[in-house]
Amino acid sequence: MSLSMYEASAPCFASMLRNLDAILAKALEYAVAKKIDPSVLLTARLFPDMLSLLRQVQIASDHAKGAVARLAGVEVPKYEDSEQSFEEIRARLAKTIAFVEAISAGQIDGSEEREISLKVGGKEMTFKGMPYLVGFALPNFYFHLVTAYNILRHNGLEIGKRDYIGNP
């Protein structure tokens, strides 16, 4: 039995976004317990030229909703990127999860050869569905997700691999 495009995308995105949401909930509890202004964590970076925790979460959300929408052949939802608090960024994740879960297997399965075009850094990129998913969307999603995890871990949040992977 082969893995379908749907199975390789939507459920993976939704599951990992739920794990990220749980990590963000722990981060807010940590900030409160340690009397750290939550904005300190939200604006934290691993290195000065890297993006903040807040942007990493926004971009992970963008890759999840964008990939599922493009594979399904529907319009990618646009979010304002205006979140400034843990509550707001967690609401964004909830909205993203709801969108991802609203797309059915029938909408994504068979998209291996669908032409996918998008602009990245002002440059137009074109893929077929399968190479887009496995060579672009998933690696970018996981990069930003693990960077968000690493920012929080670097700032003292006691999380581990089980928090990242969840309970499959």
Q: pTM of the predicted model, to two decimals? A: 0.96
Q: Residues in the chain, how many? A: 168
Instruction: Reduce the DSSP state of residue 168 to 3 states and report it.
Output: coil
Q: 128: helix, coil or strand?
A: strand
pLDDT at residue 1 in the model:
61
Say how far apart CA 37 and CA 159 lie, in whole Å.
19
Asked if residues 63 and 146 have their Cβ atoms less than 8 Å apart, the reply is no
65-91 pLDDT, tens digit per residue, is 999 999 999 999 999 999 999 999 999
Distant-in-sequence, close-in-space partners of 143: CB < 8 Å, separation ≥ 6:
none
Does 2 reside within a domain?
Answer: no
Q: Mind giving me the DSSP string for 22-45?
A: HHHHHHHHHHHHTT--HHHHHT--
With a cut of 70, list the residues of the chain below it in pLDDT: 1, 168
Q: Is residue 5 part of a domain?
A: no
Residue ranges making up the domain that contains 95: 10-165
For residue 91, CA distances in Å to 24, 25, 48, 53, 81 come to 11, 11, 27, 15, 12
Is 156 part of any domain? Answer: yes
Domain-embedded: residue 33: yes
Amino acid of residue 6:
Y
Look at the chain and report how many structural domains it folds into: 1
